Amino acid sequence: MCYRIVFLLLLLTLSPLRADPEIRNVLFLVADDLKASVLGCYGDEVCATPHLDALAARSMVFDRAYCQGTWCQPSRESFMHSRYVGDHGPTLGKHLIDQGFYSARVGKIFHMRVPGDIIDGTDGNDVPDTWTEKFNCRGQEAHTPGLYRLLNQNIETRALENRQSTKMPFRMFASVESDGDGTEQPDWKAAGKTVELLKKHGKSDKPFFLATGFVRPHYPSVAPASYFEDYPISKIDAPEVPEGDLSDIPKPARAGSTSENTGISKFPDNIKRMWSDYYATVTFMDEQLGRVMNELDRQGLRDSTLVIFASDHGYHLGEHHFWQKSKFHEEVTRVPLMVAAPGFETGRTKALAELVDIYPTVCDLVGVGMPDSVQGKSLRPVLRDPGASVREVAYSTNRKQGDFVRSDRWAYMKYHDGSEELYDMEKDPGQFTNLAGMKAVAAEQAMMAVFLEGRMAEAVPK
């Protein structure tokens, strides 16, 4: 018996039983207007995103994550409150402050006008009690010295006068190949401030919640000139749009910026240039994120810090002849979501997730309770097992237009005038054929309508 006890003690010494690492801190990184499909880790073969790809390798990557608001303000309000609509209840930062955390915002987390609030250095729709400290990151945006282009009008100039900027109608088609080295850019400043805060608070007795919001690739597409050199339009394929693509979708779904009504359809190469400029700013943003992640590792915080990366929504770059956001197509509603949680699985998952799930996931993993106001679900089961799921459908809403649900196979939209869209995402991932109203899929359409009604009822503010 004595020998057996000694043997067991020796085994325990050689192979100690270890609990999961304690997650003390949270680093929340948010890109602006970033569509999932342009990242290397989401399959793009042109855009260089080495730092996000490295983060993906140490994360659970959600291939089917969806925003709840289809433009900046409602989406950011939604994930910071974990509410489908409205701002009921404490924000994530406020709740963590109440649990003893230091909370800081660097850059854009709640909605800011880009470029307006970035040029002015103002707070936008910030919620002050969310933060112990907050830091705005200014930039000149379209007024940055360098080669300026307005692609829907085929303008190229170095003159600083008459550039499309705040509240101007074609500001979304502006880009600048900056003469600077990047240090003048808001995202460079955001990364630098985040690095400072990691150094200052990484060893503190208080756990931290650092939320850093990058403004790229939101228009205008501004980055140092060298970043544009890697994306000549000869490397770019413009989105394929079948003849008559918009003929089978409802009128509300066709509203907004199109290639024809913005004028960019007159300049086919400039559609490719829009992709080139978008890629350039994604790569610049990726490099700034890399600075932050490198500092996290230098400070020895990898094993105690939950890192979450997401975007507020995606973006149309000429798919279906659409531009910008606010639509329910996959290009807009699907977002990148990576969760690097020490002690949990890494890999990829097809589980449906929503941005409102970030708040409860954070609370669950750092071991604090959740307010009753939270509507999202913790993604812990999926972080434990990528084959698990926490919901049957993901939901998005645009209060001016209608609502959307996405299941494993189907994407369904219903507009305020009663019109509908239905897509079989297995057979038609590009969403070119609207099946709504066809007898062959009547049962599926009815099922998705039931799902949508249920989610709409759940989303109603209480």
Q: What is the pLDDT of residues 303-330, one digit of tens each?
A: 999 999 999 999 999 999 999 999 999 9
3-state secondary structure of 38: helix
Residue with tokens 């149309």: 316
Angstrom distance (rounded) from CA 318 to CA 269: 12
Q: What is the pLDDT of residues 153-190, one digit of tens each?
A: 999 999 999 999 999 999 999 999 999 999 999 999 99
Q: What is the pLDDT of residues 78-89, one digit of tens each?
A: 999 999 999 999
3-state secondary structure of 63: strand
Over range 52-77, report the average pLDDT.
98
Q: What is the pLDDT of residues 95-116, one digit of tens each?
A: 999 999 999 999 999 999 999 9
Percent of the chain residues topping a pLDDT of 90: 93
DSSP state of 208: E
Tell me the pLDDT band of 7, cut-offs 50, 70 and 90: very low
DSSP state of 369: -
Angstrom distance (rounded) from CA 49 to CA 425: 26
Angstrom distance (rounded) from CA 216 to CA 318: 18
AA letter at 434: N
Q: Residue 17: its pLDDT value, please?
A: 31
Q: Residue 462: its pLDDT value, please?
A: 62
Asked if the model's pLDDT at residue 5 lies above 60, the reply is: no
Percent of the chain residues topping a pLDDT of 70: 95
Q: Residue 4: its pLDDT value, please?
A: 43
Residues 461, 399 contacting (CB under 8 angstroms): no
AA letter at 221: S
3-state secondary structure of 358: helix
Over range 341-360, report the average pLDDT.
98
Q: Residue 460: its pLDDT value, please?
A: 84
Whole-prediction pTM: 0.94
Q: Of all helices (H) and strands (E), which one includes residue 274? A: helix 268-298
Burial status of residue 404 (CB atoms within 10 A of its CB: 0-12, 13-18, 19 or more): buried
Non-local (6+) Cβ contacts of 54 within 8 A are 290, 293
Measured over the CA atoms of residue 450, residue 451, residue 452 and residue 454, the dihedral's sign is: positive
Burial status of residue 452 (CB atoms within 10 A of its CB: 0-12, 13-18, 19 or more): buried
Residues 55, 341 contacting (CB under 8 angstroms): no
Q: Which of 289, 223, 218, 213 is nearest to 56 (CA)?
A: 289
How big is the chain, counted in residues?
Answer: 462
Q: Which CATH superfamily is domain 21-139+185-382 in?
A: Alkaline Phosphatase, subunit A (3.40.720.10)
Q: Which of 50, 107, 75, 68 is nearest to 282 (CA)?
A: 50
Q: Which two tokens stand for residue 105?
A: 């915002």
Angstrom distance (rounded) from CA 164 to CA 228: 20
Non-local (6+) Cβ contacts of 316 within 8 A are 257, 322, 323, 324, 325, 327, 329, 331, 332
| Chain mean pLDDT for the chain | 94
Tell me the pLDDT band of 21, cut-offs 50, 70 and 90: low
Q: What is the pLDDT of residues 249-301, one digit of tens each?
A: 999 999 889 999 999 999 999 999 999 999 999 999 999 999 999 999 999 99
Q: Residue 6: its pLDDT value, please?
A: 39
